Structure formats: C-alpha cells, structure tokens
Structure 1
Amino acid sequence: MERRNMDQGARRGLGIILSSPSGAGKSTMARRLMAWDPTLSFSVSATTRPPREGEVEGQHYYFTDREAFGQMVLDGEMLEHAEVFGNHYGSPRAPVEAALAEGRDVIFDIDWQGGQQIRNSALGRDVVSIFILPPSIAELERRLRGRGQDSDAVIDGRMAKSQAEISHWAEYDYVLVNDDADACEMRLRTILAAERLRRDRQPWLTGFTRALNTEFSERDAG
C-alpha cells in the first residue's frame, strides 16, 4: 500500500506562555525546555531597565530607552507590553510572527498582563498558557533572596506583588506547582507534546482523512 503523507512537522508554530510570580521558576523552566528541545526559540523581550551583570543584548533582552520603547508601542510593534517595578517590558511582534509562520514554537517568559494581552490578540489561537506556582510563600521568598540580585527593598516589592500575580492563576490553560524542578519540567514536556498533537494544530490530517475516504470509495467501487 502506498504510504500516505503524514508530515506532522507541517504545522503552524505554537506560542508557549510561561508566567509565575517572580522567583517561582518560569525562567528556569524556559531554559530547561529549550535545553530539552533545541528547536524551541525564545521570545526575547525589549526592556527599559539597565542590563544586569552577564546579560547580553539580543540574547537576554533588547535594552532600549523609554522614548524608543514608547514609539514601538505606538507603531504596533509590540505583541504585549507592561510596566513592572518602574521599568517597561514588551514582546516585539515581528520575530514571533515569523517563527510561528515557519512552524517554530516560541516560549514567552512573561507576567500575567503580557499573557492576557497575547491571548486576546490575533495570535490567541496559536498559544497555550501555563502558570507556575511556588510550593509556599516562604519558599518563594527564600528563592528570591538566594539569587542575590536584588536589594531588600526590591525583594519586598516583589513579594508584595506576588499575591496579585497568583490571583490570576485561573486564567491559564495549565497550572503547575514547582515543588521539584525535575518533576515540573517533565510536566511541561508532557503539556507541550500534547498541545503539538491537538487536532487543530495538525493541518496534514485533512488531506490524510480525505485520502482514507477515497480508499473507501475505491473499495466500494471495486
């Protein structure tokens, strides 16, 4: 029998929104997913905050000033944008749309505001959203302090905002508790594998099932 074309790679890319309160692990999980599957790309955000030690332009963020950032927003060049702790963050539209059109999956490491904007945009049909919770508030604070990147005042601000962030958990497609990094990563892999196989993300199935029906017709005619 002739083998039918079952090119499961012929699909539109998937946008993977990862959100969590600061310190709960979304950035770590994004890095782990990309190490597991090198075909994943990362939506590099633009920001007005100054770079931290070790951060590379175009790899970690696109660093810009407020005026340039504001112009990008006015020109419709941002998929989403928000002000966080006095700095502006946003996801440039062009590279994401190009990746999805080419069938490449893109990870967004963004907060609930950004996730909401993307889900409500024209790309909403192309995304799956995942919220990551900490196992406890005490552990969340321990992780923030353990990073050694922020002052006590900044950490206190992040902790104060965490309650508001967590209140949006029910808006997401999936919610995971990051009590164990390895286990959380495995759950994320499972979600990604299942979402890639959703019927509406497999355009090749239309032609495949049409061919099956043709076989039925030929069989009945014979």
Structure 2
Amino acid sequence: MATRLVQITMKAHDDSALGRFWADALGWGVDSEGPGVTNLEPVGFSYPDPVAVCIDVVAGPEPKTVKNRAHLDLATTSTAHQAELVARLQGLGATLADVGQGKVPWTVMADPEGNEFCVLEPRPVYRDTGPIAAVVVDCADPREMARFWGGAMDWTLHQVTDDLATMRSAQGVGPYLEFIRTPDRKSGWNRVHLDVRPYPGDDLAAEAARLRALGATDPGIDQSAIPWTVLVDPEGNEFCLLTPR
C-alpha cells in the first residue's frame, strides 16, 4: 500500500474569490463541490494524475495570524518571465511580502488573503513541473520528514540533507514536495495542508494504521461526519488521508 500527494487545501475567508485568484494565477479551471469549497485543477485534467497537484480552497472563519508552514513556489522560464509573472500577479491582487528573506533571487509574495508564496527565478530543475514548481513545507528536521513522507508515499526521494529534503512523483512529472529547515515552530492549525490519497482497491483504515506505524498521530478531533481521515505528521502538521481512488 502507498499514498500519493494529490492536492493541497487552503483555508480562506472567501473561497470563491481566493479560488479565482489562484485559477487566474496558474491558468487553471475552477469547479465547486458546493458552498464553501472551490476546486482548482488544470484545464482538461483527469483527477488524480501526478502531472499536477490540485488545490482545494475551503471556507473557514479562522484568521491568519502567523506565516504559513506550507506554501507554493511558482516556476518561471526566464528573468523576463519572472518579472512579467510578478507584475501580473500584482494586477490580480497579490502583494510583495517580507518574511525575513533578505536579498534573494526569488520574489516572495502574498495572495489576497495573505498566504505567502514565491515566484522563483528560472531554475533548470523545475523546467517541466508546470506552473507550480514545488509545494514547500517548513520543518525542524528534513531528514525525519523525508523518512516519514518517503514511507507514507510512493514518491521518489531526490535529495536529503540536514537543511532540505525533496521528492517527486515516481513518474517524474508534476511539482516537487520539499521540506526546508527553518527555526520557526508550528503555532495553531495549518491554514495550508497536504492531502494524500491511496490507490483504488486499498483499504482506508489499513492505510491509516500503516501511517500511524510510521509516526503519524491523531489530532484529537471528532471525525465521525467525514469520509476521510485527518492525521498529524511527526512535526505536528495536519494532513488528510482521502478515500482510495
């Protein structure tokens, strides 16, 4: 058994408006599961497919008070493309952000609800990822995160050091998942989290038990009304184990 990263979930005060921003930013299509949930995926995409990690924007009343533990890095193909993308995103409602990055070649921005993201300078490693270069998660121990998430998913580990761990779909397509060591500590529930899904025919309860054996824990919330399972990784980051598909 194994899982794979299929989407990220963002909390938002206005899921429709934030969904429209990200759809326009990425050139993706917009759908809705119902009030309070806006789904984003590439036009013509057949879910799930490792060529893209989709985005679910979910309405929630909680205010954003700290820097997100997870964010998106957007890919560019040239310095001109980077400048053009930054300007276009500002036109859509994004702003420049300062998270203490200092002088760096990438541009740190925030979406209309304050969620941080980066517009990267052109890097050959991301030339074939699509508009999202990487889903990036802050952590204290990239090696431990690589151990857990490498066991949780069937993605391929590309790099593991004290400061950085990277992995990507075993098919060599779509964005990377990266864990970067930072001094910050988790505070409160994450407004952006990972959603993983087992394969067709797998058993959800058995997969949840396997993830617990790897080091996942339960968040201590009532889950009786949802068909998926909410778990917490070894650094306290909530994630959703969706039903097999």
TM-score by length of structure 1 reads 0.28
More strand per residue: 1 or 2?
2
Larger radius of gyration: 1
More helix per residue: 1 or 2?
1
